[in-house]
Amino acid sequence: MVRLLALLFALALPAHAEEVVAGLSQDSIQITTNFDGSEILIFGAVKREAALPEGPPLEVIVTVEGPKSPLTIRRKDKRFGIWINTAAVEIDEAPSFYAVATSSDWHSAISEVEDLRHHVSIDKAIRAVGLERTDGTDFVDALIRIRGKADAYFTNIGGVEVTEDTLFKTTITLPANLTEGDYTTRFFLTRGGNVIDVHEGSIDVRKVGLEQFLFNLSRQQPLLYGLMSLAIAIAAGWLASAVFRLIRI
């Protein structure tokens, strides 16, 4: 009877006392030959069914995740004066792009348990099942470091501006070397490190024009693409040589 009453009481409560209402400045990006990156404004508000609760302040975390794919990470060591591959691990899934912005320091924004549950931080977003713990962590750290240098992975602590515990906004910079596909955006509301609501959206990233034509040609007719690339290289070399001869004259 006690369990039944507890269940009925829980069902009677609102599903979310606080919910995310969010939007993006653009939900699609077109990659052209002169595409040099894009900056997306992310904004939103908190919808409440009751008065602002007392206790820890509201925190907001925003993530943007690119298409995932498996990959192999190799370690090189110098042996007998040359660099060779000495070890390799398989990563089950790694996002091509991952950005996370928070409204405060990391430990105030989300607890370790909630991070593990929702895969919010960069290292938790990378799926590497079955790796030996210490060695696997080293390889994942290397991947994060390499893609961080390429602006594909980054964390912006304090990058989300929250006003009156209700409105929030941030910007996410997307680099020029984006992978085509659907990019998932997630919005987390937290209090005291606990997630109280999650909202998801998406950004459609597609190649268009000449960029799309060349990409499709390289995948569908690789021989023709190779011959065309060779012809363009020969023509460019001949043109450069001709210009050089004219300059000398």
pLDDT recorded at residue 92: 87
Calpha distance 171→41 (Å, rounded): 5
**The total number of structural domains that make up the chain:** 2
Range of the domain at 52: 16-207
Per the domain annotation, does 180 fall within a domain? Answer: yes
Q: Do residues 93 and 199 share a domain?
A: yes
Q: Do residues 199 and 237 share a domain?
A: no
Per the domain annotation, does 7 fall within a domain? Answer: no
Q: Do residues 169 and 241 share a domain?
A: no
The residue type of 80 is F
Per the domain annotation, does 2 fall within a domain? Answer: no
Per the domain annotation, does 238 fall within a domain? Answer: yes
pLDDT recorded at residue 130: 60
Per the domain annotation, does 161 fall within a domain? Answer: yes
Per the domain annotation, does 189 fall within a domain? Answer: yes
Q: Do residues 202 and 217 share a domain?
A: no
Q: Are β-strands 58-65 and 82-95 bridged in parallel, bridged antiparallel, or unpaired?
A: unpaired
For residue 245, give the H/E element and its range. Answer: helix 222-248
pTM for the whole structure: 0.73
Q: Do residues 145 and 29 share a domain?
A: yes
pLDDT recorded at residue 111: 95
Per the domain annotation, does 3 fall within a domain? Answer: no
Q: What is the mean pLDDT of each run of 10 residues along the chain (249 residues)?
A: 38 59 80 77 85 82 94 76 72 92 94 94 84 64 90 94 89 88 93 92 76 57 67 74 68
pLDDT recorded at residue 214: 57
Dihedral sign, CA of 61, 65, 68, 74?
A: negative
Which CATH number do you get for residue 35? 2.60.40.3880
Tell me 97's DSSP state: -
Q: Do residues 230 and 144 share a domain?
A: no
Q: Do residues 145 and 126 share a domain?
A: yes
pLDDT recorded at residue 16: 55
Per the domain annotation, does 1 fall within a domain? Answer: no
Q: Do residues 158 and 240 share a domain?
A: no
Asked whether the beta carbons of 89 and 72 are under 8 A apart, the reply is yes
